[in-house]
Protein backbone atom coordinates (compact mmCIF):
# COMPACT_ATOMS: atom_id res chain seq x y z
CA UNK A 1 0.00 0.00 0.00
CA UNK A 2 2.82 2.42 0.87
CA UNK A 3 4.52 1.66 -2.45
CA UNK A 4 1.29 2.26 -4.38
CA UNK A 5 0.73 5.62 -2.67
CA UNK A 6 4.35 6.61 -3.34
CA UNK A 7 3.91 5.78 -7.02
CA UNK A 8 0.74 7.91 -7.14
CA UNK A 9 2.55 10.87 -5.56
CA UNK A 10 5.37 10.50 -8.08
CA UNK A 11 2.88 10.45 -10.96
CA UNK A 12 1.19 13.61 -9.69
CA UNK A 13 4.57 15.35 -9.31
CA UNK A 14 5.50 14.40 -12.88
CA UNK A 15 2.19 15.76 -14.14
CA UNK A 16 2.82 19.03 -12.30
CA UNK A 17 6.16 19.38 -14.08
CA UNK A 18 4.78 19.02 -17.59
CA UNK A 19 1.23 20.36 -17.50
CA UNK A 20 2.20 23.99 -17.95
CA UNK A 21 4.24 23.37 -21.11
CA UNK A 22 1.88 21.09 -23.01
CA UNK A 23 -0.67 22.22 -25.55
CA UNK A 24 -4.13 20.71 -25.25
CA UNK A 25 -5.69 18.74 -28.09
CA UNK A 26 -9.47 18.42 -28.26
CA UNK A 27 -11.29 16.03 -30.57
CA UNK A 28 -14.97 16.36 -31.42
CA UNK A 29 -17.17 14.09 -33.51
CA UNK A 30 -20.17 15.45 -35.39
CA UNK A 31 -23.13 13.52 -34.05
CA UNK A 32 -26.08 12.79 -36.38
CA UNK A 33 -24.20 14.44 -39.24
CA UNK A 34 -26.37 15.55 -42.15
CA UNK A 35 -25.07 16.29 -45.67
CA UNK A 36 -26.90 18.71 -47.96
CA UNK A 37 -26.13 19.43 -51.62
CA UNK A 38 -26.89 22.78 -53.21
CA UNK A 39 -25.66 25.14 -55.93
CA UNK A 40 -24.49 24.43 -59.47
CA UNK A 41 -22.17 21.59 -58.49
CA UNK A 42 -22.98 18.21 -57.01
CA UNK A 43 -20.97 15.60 -55.16
CA UNK A 44 -19.77 12.91 -57.60
CA UNK A 45 -20.83 10.23 -55.08
CA UNK A 46 -23.45 9.63 -52.42
CA UNK A 47 -24.06 11.73 -49.30
CA UNK A 48 -23.49 8.91 -46.81
CA UNK A 49 -20.62 9.45 -44.36
CA UNK A 50 -18.88 7.30 -41.78
CA UNK A 51 -17.64 10.09 -39.55
CA UNK A 52 -16.73 13.76 -39.26
CA UNK A 53 -14.00 14.59 -36.73
CA UNK A 54 -12.87 18.08 -35.72
CA UNK A 55 -9.45 18.49 -34.03
CA UNK A 56 -8.49 21.66 -32.15
CA UNK A 57 -5.04 22.33 -30.67
CA UNK A 58 -4.87 25.14 -28.10
CA UNK A 59 -1.65 26.37 -26.49
CA UNK A 60 -3.30 27.93 -23.43
CA UNK A 61 -6.92 28.30 -22.28
CA UNK A 62 -6.62 32.10 -22.26
CA UNK A 63 -5.38 32.15 -25.87
CA UNK A 64 -7.66 33.85 -28.38
CA UNK A 65 -9.22 32.12 -31.37
CA UNK A 66 -6.42 33.12 -33.74
CA UNK A 67 -3.87 30.92 -31.94
CA UNK A 68 -5.95 27.72 -32.21
CA UNK A 69 -4.93 25.12 -34.77
CA UNK A 70 -8.07 23.66 -36.39
CA UNK A 71 -8.39 20.68 -38.74
CA UNK A 72 -11.29 18.57 -40.00
CA UNK A 73 -11.51 15.01 -41.33
CA UNK A 74 -14.53 13.78 -43.29
CA UNK A 75 -14.88 10.09 -44.11
CA UNK A 76 -17.42 9.55 -46.89
CA UNK A 77 -18.53 5.96 -47.50
CA UNK A 78 -18.12 6.13 -51.30
CA UNK A 79 -15.17 8.52 -51.63
CA UNK A 80 -11.62 9.12 -50.50
CA UNK A 81 -11.27 10.65 -47.05
CA UNK A 82 -11.14 14.45 -47.08
CA UNK A 83 -8.71 16.09 -44.63
CA UNK A 84 -8.71 19.88 -44.24
CA UNK A 85 -5.69 21.13 -42.30
CA UNK A 86 -4.66 24.55 -41.05
CA UNK A 87 -7.96 26.38 -40.99
CA UNK A 88 -7.24 30.05 -40.41
CA UNK A 89 -9.35 32.54 -38.47
CA UNK A 90 -11.15 34.80 -40.93
CA UNK A 91 -13.04 37.01 -38.49
CA UNK A 92 -13.73 37.16 -34.76
CA UNK A 93 -17.02 36.63 -32.96
CA UNK A 94 -17.75 37.41 -29.30
CA UNK A 95 -14.64 39.48 -28.68
CA UNK A 96 -12.20 36.77 -29.75
CA UNK A 97 -13.71 33.74 -27.98
CA UNK A 98 -15.18 32.39 -31.23
CA UNK A 99 -14.72 32.99 -34.90
CA UNK A 100 -15.27 32.18 -38.54
CA UNK A 101 -12.64 29.76 -39.92
CA UNK A 102 -11.60 29.08 -43.51
CA UNK A 103 -9.35 26.57 -45.24
CA UNK A 104 -8.74 24.94 -48.62
CA UNK A 105 -7.61 21.69 -50.24
CA UNK A 106 -6.11 21.31 -53.70
CA UNK A 107 -6.93 18.39 -56.02
CA UNK A 108 -9.79 17.05 -53.92
CA UNK A 109 -11.77 14.35 -55.72
CA UNK A 110 -12.53 15.77 -59.21
CA UNK A 111 -12.01 19.41 -58.23
CA UNK A 112 -8.86 21.49 -58.64
CA UNK A 113 -9.50 23.34 -55.38
CA UNK A 114 -12.17 23.28 -52.70
CA UNK A 115 -12.56 26.08 -50.17
CA UNK A 116 -14.16 25.50 -46.78
CA UNK A 117 -15.80 27.60 -44.10
CA UNK A 118 -16.82 26.91 -40.51
CA UNK A 119 -19.12 29.90 -39.88
CA UNK A 120 -18.92 29.71 -36.09
CA UNK A 121 -16.47 27.88 -33.86
CA UNK A 122 -15.47 28.46 -30.24
CA UNK A 123 -12.24 26.43 -30.11
CA UNK A 124 -12.01 25.72 -26.38
CA UNK A 125 -15.69 25.14 -25.62
CA UNK A 126 -17.14 23.47 -28.71
CA UNK A 127 -18.70 20.47 -26.97
CA UNK A 128 -22.42 20.07 -27.68
CA UNK A 129 -22.45 23.12 -29.97
CA UNK A 130 -24.37 23.04 -33.21
CA UNK A 131 -21.84 22.62 -36.00
CA UNK A 132 -21.94 23.79 -39.61
CA UNK A 133 -19.32 23.24 -42.29
CA UNK A 134 -19.65 24.42 -45.91
CA UNK A 135 -17.59 23.34 -48.92
CA UNK A 136 -17.20 25.51 -52.03
CA UNK A 137 -15.82 24.82 -55.50
CA UNK A 138 -13.23 27.51 -56.17
CA UNK A 139 -13.78 29.35 -59.44
CA UNK A 140 -10.70 31.52 -59.04
CA UNK A 141 -8.06 31.73 -61.78
CA UNK A 142 -5.35 31.72 -59.10
CA UNK A 143 -4.92 28.77 -56.75
CA UNK A 144 -2.51 30.00 -54.11
CA UNK A 145 -4.36 28.30 -51.27
CA UNK A 146 -6.13 28.82 -47.96
CA UNK A 147 -9.20 30.62 -49.32
CA UNK A 148 -7.37 33.94 -49.23
CA UNK A 149 -9.96 35.67 -51.34
CA UNK A 150 -13.32 36.57 -49.86
CA UNK A 151 -14.79 34.85 -52.92
CA UNK A 152 -15.08 31.29 -51.64
CA UNK A 153 -16.67 30.02 -54.84
CA UNK A 154 -19.83 28.12 -55.66
CA UNK A 155 -21.36 26.06 -52.79
CA UNK A 156 -20.93 22.29 -53.15
CA UNK A 157 -22.23 20.75 -49.91
CA UNK A 158 -22.91 21.47 -46.25
CA UNK A 159 -22.47 19.24 -43.21
CA UNK A 160 -24.35 19.98 -39.99
CA UNK A 161 -24.80 18.25 -36.67
CA UNK A 162 -23.77 18.52 -33.03
CA UNK A 163 -20.20 18.36 -31.75
CA UNK A 164 -19.55 15.68 -29.10
CA UNK A 165 -16.32 15.50 -27.11
CA UNK A 166 -14.34 12.36 -28.06
CA UNK A 167 -10.94 13.53 -26.81
CA UNK A 168 -8.80 10.46 -25.99
CA UNK A 169 -7.98 9.93 -22.32
CA UNK A 170 -6.06 7.47 -20.18
CA UNK A 171 -6.41 5.97 -16.72
CA UNK A 172 -4.32 7.80 -14.10
CA UNK A 173 -5.53 6.30 -10.82
CA UNK A 174 -7.32 3.14 -9.66
CA UNK A 175 -9.06 2.31 -6.37
CA UNK A 176 -10.72 -0.96 -5.32
CA UNK A 177 -13.46 -1.08 -2.69
CA UNK A 178 -15.97 -3.51 -1.24
CA UNK A 179 -19.52 -2.21 -1.74
CA UNK A 180 -22.62 -4.27 -0.91
CA UNK A 181 -20.38 -7.32 -0.53
CA UNK A 182 -19.12 -6.96 -4.11
CA UNK A 183 -15.77 -5.71 -5.43
CA UNK A 184 -15.92 -2.27 -7.04
CA UNK A 185 -13.04 -1.02 -9.20
CA UNK A 186 -12.86 2.73 -9.87
CA UNK A 187 -10.57 4.03 -12.64
CA UNK A 188 -10.02 7.78 -12.99
CA UNK A 189 -9.59 9.29 -16.46
CA UNK A 190 -7.26 12.25 -17.05
CA UNK A 191 -9.61 14.30 -19.27
CA UNK A 192 -12.58 16.35 -18.11
CA UNK A 193 -15.14 15.41 -20.74
CA UNK A 194 -18.20 17.03 -22.16
CA UNK A 195 -21.29 15.13 -21.04
CA UNK A 196 -23.24 13.29 -23.77
CA UNK A 197 -26.59 15.03 -23.15
CA UNK A 198 -25.65 18.63 -22.34
CA UNK A 199 -22.98 21.33 -22.69
CA UNK A 200 -21.87 20.62 -19.11
CA UNK A 201 -18.58 18.91 -18.31
CA UNK A 202 -17.52 16.40 -15.71
CA UNK A 203 -14.79 14.18 -14.32
CA UNK A 204 -15.18 10.64 -15.65
CA UNK A 205 -14.55 7.58 -13.45
CA UNK A 206 -14.89 4.18 -15.09
CA UNK A 207 -16.62 1.72 -12.80
CA UNK A 208 -16.40 -2.09 -12.87
CA UNK A 209 -18.70 -3.62 -10.26
CA UNK A 210 -18.71 -7.39 -9.84
CA UNK A 211 -22.15 -8.77 -10.64
CA UNK A 212 -23.46 -5.46 -11.97
CA UNK A 213 -21.17 -4.62 -14.88
CA UNK A 214 -19.46 -1.54 -16.21
CA UNK A 215 -20.61 2.09 -16.02
CA UNK A 216 -19.24 5.63 -15.86
CA UNK A 217 -19.48 7.75 -12.72
CA UNK A 218 -19.53 11.51 -13.30
CA UNK A 219 -18.48 14.27 -10.89
CA UNK A 220 -19.71 17.59 -12.34
CA UNK A 221 -17.18 20.44 -12.53
CA UNK A 222 -17.57 24.20 -12.53
CA UNK A 223 -13.93 25.24 -12.62
CA UNK A 224 -12.82 28.07 -14.89
CA UNK A 225 -11.34 26.53 -18.08
CA UNK A 226 -12.34 23.13 -16.71
CA UNK A 227 -11.67 21.37 -20.02
CA UNK A 228 -8.02 22.32 -19.57
CA UNK A 229 -7.79 20.77 -16.09
CA UNK A 230 -6.24 17.33 -15.64
CA UNK A 231 -7.61 14.93 -13.01
CA UNK A 232 -4.69 13.11 -11.37
CA UNK A 233 -5.83 11.47 -8.13
CA UNK A 234 -8.90 9.75 -6.65
CA UNK A 235 -9.62 10.69 -3.03
CA UNK A 236 -11.72 8.09 -1.19
CA UNK A 237 -12.87 8.74 2.36
CA UNK A 238 -15.15 6.84 4.74
CA UNK A 239 -17.61 7.98 7.37
CA UNK A 240 -16.00 6.64 10.55
CA UNK A 241 -19.19 7.13 12.58
CA UNK A 242 -21.41 5.09 10.28
CA UNK A 243 -22.42 1.52 11.13
CA UNK A 244 -21.89 0.55 7.48
CA UNK A 245 -19.06 1.43 5.10
CA UNK A 246 -20.25 4.73 3.62
CA UNK A 247 -17.70 6.05 1.13
CA UNK A 248 -17.22 9.54 -0.28
CA UNK A 249 -15.41 10.46 -3.50
CA UNK A 250 -13.56 13.55 -4.65
CA UNK A 251 -10.82 14.14 -7.22
CA UNK A 252 -7.60 16.13 -7.19
CA UNK A 253 -6.85 17.95 -10.45
CA UNK A 254 -4.21 20.36 -11.74
CA UNK A 255 -4.57 23.26 -14.13
CA UNK A 256 -2.29 24.52 -16.91
CA UNK A 257 -0.10 26.34 -14.35
CA UNK A 258 0.33 23.32 -12.07
CA UNK A 259 -2.07 24.59 -9.40
CA UNK A 260 -4.06 21.94 -7.52
CA UNK A 261 -7.84 21.90 -7.15
CA UNK A 262 -10.16 19.50 -5.32
CA UNK A 263 -13.58 18.66 -6.73
CA UNK A 264 -16.78 18.52 -4.73
CA UNK A 265 -16.98 15.52 -2.39
CA UNK A 266 -19.94 13.30 -3.27
CA UNK A 267 -21.35 10.14 -1.65
CA UNK A 268 -20.24 7.11 -3.61
CA UNK A 269 -23.73 5.62 -3.31
CA UNK A 270 -25.16 8.69 -5.07
CA UNK A 271 -22.73 8.27 -7.96
CA UNK A 272 -23.55 4.55 -8.19
CA UNK A 273 -27.29 5.28 -8.17
CA UNK A 274 -26.86 7.73 -11.03
CA UNK A 275 -24.80 5.26 -13.06
CA UNK A 276 -26.47 1.93 -12.28
CA UNK A 277 -29.99 2.95 -11.33
CA UNK A 278 -31.92 0.50 -9.15
CA UNK A 279 -29.20 -2.14 -9.57
CA UNK A 280 -26.87 -0.18 -7.27
CA UNK A 281 -28.96 -1.01 -4.19
CA UNK A 282 -29.26 -4.75 -4.89
Q: Which pLDDT belongs to residue 19? A: 43
Contact 123, 68 (CB under 8 A): yes
Rounded Cα–Cα distance for residues 203 and 172 (Å): 12
| pLDDT (tens digit per residue) in 79-111 | 889 999 989 888 876 555 678 899 999 998 889
Write down the pTM of the prediction.
0.78
Main-chain dihedrals φ then ψ at residue 254, nearest 5 degrees: -125, 150
Mean pLDDT of 54-78: 81
Contacts of 123 (CB under 8 A, 6+ apart): 26, 56, 58, 65, 68, 70, 98
| pLDDT (tens digit per residue) in 154-183 | 999 999 999 888 999 999 999 999 988 899
- For 111-255, where are the E strands, in sequence order? 111-121, 130-137, 154-165, 171-179, 182-194, 201-209, 213-220, 230-238, 247-254
Question: Rounded mean pLDDT of the chain?
Answer: 82
246 vs 8, higher pLDDT: 246
Task: Using alpha carbons only, give the angle 91, 198, 174 rounded to the nearest 5 degrees.
Answer: 110
| Residue 23 host element (H or E) | none
pLDDT score of 3 more than 50: no
pLDDT score of 257 more than 70: yes
Contact 28, 165 (CB under 8 A): yes
Rounded Cα–Cα distance for residues 71 and 183 (Å): 43
188 vs 196, higher pLDDT: 188
Rounded Cα–Cα distance for residues 261 and 91 (Å): 35
Amino acid sequence: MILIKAMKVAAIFAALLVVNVQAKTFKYEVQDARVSNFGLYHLPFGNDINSVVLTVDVEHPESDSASASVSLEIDFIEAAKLVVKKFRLHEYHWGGAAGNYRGSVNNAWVYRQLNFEIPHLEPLYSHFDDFEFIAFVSESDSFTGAGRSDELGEPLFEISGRLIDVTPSKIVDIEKLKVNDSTLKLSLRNHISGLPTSRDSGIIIDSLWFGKGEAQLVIPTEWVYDFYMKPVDLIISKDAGSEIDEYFVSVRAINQDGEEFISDTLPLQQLLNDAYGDASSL
